[in-house]
Structure 1
Amino acid sequence: MLTSSNAVTPRERSEFLQQVGDLVRQAEELGLSAALSDAPRRRKPGLAIDLQFFRSAADGRLRPVSGLKALRPLGDSWEASDPRHRWGSVDGAVTFEMLRAAPRPASARPVTAAMARPVGAAPRGAGLVAAAVGVRCANARDDVQTVQLLLNLCGEARRVVLPEGPLKPDGAFGRKTADAVMAFQHAALGPAAVDGRVDPGGTTLRSLCESLPELLAPRCLALLCLRAADADITEFAPRLREVLAARAIHTPLRQAHFLAQIGHESGEFRFRAEIASGQAYEGRQGLGNTQPGDGQRFKGRGLIQLTGRANYAEYGRDIGREAALLKQPQLVETDPALCVDVAGWFWGKRKLNALADADDLNTLTKRINGGFNGLDDRRRLLLRAKSLLGI
């Protein structure tokens, strides 16, 4: 239910509804559906809306999401976006308010540009292709694979009938890909637009990207991490959604930086543990490797490469499994839930959301890696993530 006091102006009401729209879109990014609650209640001066949230269960039915803990990322984002905003739970519904009373004190958390959804942002996917794809074009592997994946998405959305069915996204531009590009142009843009080319920022690319799913859908993650196996993406996607919600990684900029960093650290979801043996960490007191064999036993594992006995112990304590992880540290690699969760834990422990809000790739990389190893690749993944988010 939407309620307002008599003192609210039409402009304030319009502003509030736009902010609620942003909130609902953020909920959708977290895999939640929102519905109005019709429970009447008395209000403070200002505007308020009561919402109920649902999540799809394995049987396809919508199940209500109860408890503020699961919805805290939405509440934190709501309060961060405007000093007049408050949220809370009343009679099973979640209330989001815009008060007309005195704003929160100046000592409260400031609003940053990264905490709000960008206004006038670029179309999603605008920067996914670096050079032209088509006959007598550069046809770089990543660009061709991106176009192939986008064409398959458009085929699934029934925007085009691909002449020979879904393409194999192998990054090789051949006759099947050329025919599919022209079929899409004819179906989506009209006969006059058929030239067999997909140019960076061009009309064909923009139209292809109209079928992009939300960021954490497996098909979209495949566009972010082109080298990832479908099985790994399918396994990690729901767990990533949970971690982003639990660690308040709920703004587009935070999500872009988080996914870029774990994408690089894991070789685009291909490696759940570092390839090296870990012998180089042997005897490293700073990592807590005090016993013979600790270097190899506690080598880097998980999507952000947890390393060292001390870090395994700390993570284990925080999740109530210290003894198990010290006895079987390989669980961080073999258990998909832990493999993803440890990345969110590390992100939260190092307070990396603040660096993501500042769009500070260099400092963020140093905080994770201890230096700037792989900075160019992290930047490449960050640009792709931003493009998929439209920022």
Structure 2
Amino acid sequence: MNAKNQSNSMEKKLCRQLFLSLSLYAALGLAVTLVLDYILALFQNPISVWLIQRIDLIYFFCLIFGFGGIFYRYWKKPWSYLNEVVQGAGRLHEQDSRPIELSAPLGEVENQMNQIKMSVLLSKQAAKMAEDKKNDLIMYLAHDIRTPLTTVIGYLNLLEEAPDMPAEQRTKYTGIALEKAERLERLINELFEITRLHARTVALKKEKLDLYCLLVQLADEFYPIISAKGNSLRLEIKEKMTVFADAEKLVRVFSNILKNAVSYSYPDTEILITADVQGDFVNVDIQNQGDQIPQERLGDIFEKFIRLDKARLSDTGGTGLGLSIAEEIIRLHGGEITVESEEKMVTFHVRLPLSD
């Protein structure tokens, strides 16, 4: 109900109440006057006769004063309602969940004001969460840049201060510095990439893509990394499974998920990739055996720089951006990526549309 209709409804309601009050008062006054006239007729004395002769005048003055009181009461009512609304409006920006309470005739206004208050409260909470995430992002980014940068500077200073350092040791330190510098470059590149993906400034080059061939090729590329930990990879995918997608971006998605699966899998366990078609979508599941992710952390796993295991992440050289990048790419394709974890099994579900 819009404001104009609501105002008209309240106006009609007040008019009906006013009309009923006046009618009831007039009818009640008439009944009292008739009863009084009957009682006075029973007493034959000058006062009774005088009152009977002026009974209609008495009734008239009673109506005047009564109607005046009723009109005054209903004249004050809108002002009291307005005062309630003003006080309620003053509570719209209060940082509490207590509902605004108004008089019964203002029920619709009360509901709308409570909806506005709740939306304002949720907006402020969302703004605070966004600010907290931004601060966390800056903190994590500063930490991740500083750590390899400190290492690079440290080894370069060491090389500068010891020009007569043995060649073997110099080569070792140079290699470590180069490795850390490359990790720093990778972090910066991924940060730029996820920023562009989030801003939707990346143009997808969609084409018909054989998903079966893509996943088989990816499995072959990951074989050395997977076998190094004693793990194995099994594919359960039907051939001739075609999607309309950006091949390069999709490879990035499944590579990031597989890297995560390899990093967090128990040694000598199997990583399973399955895919099937459901309606207009294809579902790809990547499952590995590893520590169970707490249910309250599942919603955070795609956040930038979220680390469920910092020690293991530093060992694998991850940047904390891989899953965030994967999520943004899948969203650009009109799909969805989720994760579930139970009984030491972690499964990533990727849902992609078959056509554009």
TM-score under structure 2 length normalisation: 0.23
Between Structure 1 and Structure 2, the one with more helix by share is 2
TM-score under structure 1 length normalisation: 0.21
Q: Which has the larger radius of gyration?
A: 2
